[in-house]
Amino acid sequence: MKQNMNIGTIVNGPVNQNNDSLLEKYCYDPDGNLSDYTYCQTYGALYQWSEAVQRVAGTPERVQGICPSSWHVPTDAEQNTLDQYLNDPPNVCDANRFDYGCANAGTKLKTGGSSGFEGLLSGFRIPGGPFTGVGVQSEFWSSTESVYFFFRSLNSSEAGVYRQYTSDDYYGFALRCLHD
């Protein structure tokens, strides 16, 4: 889980990643210039949830998705294990929170933090195409889907880790893979 995934063919921000015969990705694109691959080279790519997990509905444990062989898209529970491990005692790290939590775990996950995760603040894609947040925040998909799609977020102004969900899987978030 040391770097963001960066595989696939770049598609324009307003276009959804729905070509089942092609692995698609977004590169953070603040000016609409698709020829600028700098952001993908620096921060990795952004993926819609269904592209990241390769449209596996119901998500059983160990969804490989776009991860390499012997790796998988982490579940919400696996992301929570990392949050708990990096949480500073005696603080509580609520696995069911929908907010920032897990004191200083976010600081440890960001670039230069003590965990080695090197969480780049890669920004994200808003459904419909605009990009925002590079250098400020980053969202990481989990494979967990119930009615909602779960993710984690790091923010430059927060020491904790944000656990949240969305009903819209058209966001473009970063993806880290976990070794089996």
Residue 37 resides in a domain: yes
Q: Give the mean model confidence (pLDDT) for residues 150-167.
A: 97
Q: What is the mean pLDDT of residues 94-104?
A: 94
Residue 36 scores a pLDDT above 90: no
* Average pLDDT across the chain, whole number: 92
pLDDT at position 21 over 90: no
57: confidence class by pLDDT, cuts 50, 70, 90 = low
The pLDDT of residue 146 is 84
Q: Is the residue at 84 inside a domain?
A: yes
Query: Per residue in 146-158, is it b (16+ CB within 10 Å) or e — as a string?
Result: eeebbbbbbbeee
Tokens matching residue 26:
């977004």
In a domain, 45, yes or no: yes
Assess whether pLDDT exceeds 90 at residue 55.
Answer: no
pTM: 0.94
Question: Could you tell me the two tokens for 23?
Answer: 């692995």
Classify residue 159: in a domain, yes or no: yes
Calculate what percentage of the chain has a pLDDT beyond 70.
Answer: 94
pLDDT of residue 63: 92
Q: Does residue 82 or residue 62 have the better pLDDT? A: 82
Higher-confidence residue of 180 and 55: namely 180
Q: Is residue 144 part of a domain?
A: yes
Q: Tell me the residue type at 90.
A: P
pLDDT on residue 47: 97
Q: Beta-strand (E) ranges in the chain?
A: 9-10, 24-25, 71-72, 100-101, 122-125, 131-134, 137-145, 149-155, 161-166, 178-179
Does residue 2 fall inside a structural domain? no
Is 13 within a domain? yes
Question: Is residue 33 included in any domain, yes or no?
Answer: yes
Query: How many folded domains does the chain comprise?
Result: 1
Give residue-wise pLDDT tens across range 59-81.
567 899 999 999 999 999 999 99
Determine the structural domain holding residue 64 and report its residue range.
Answer: 9-179
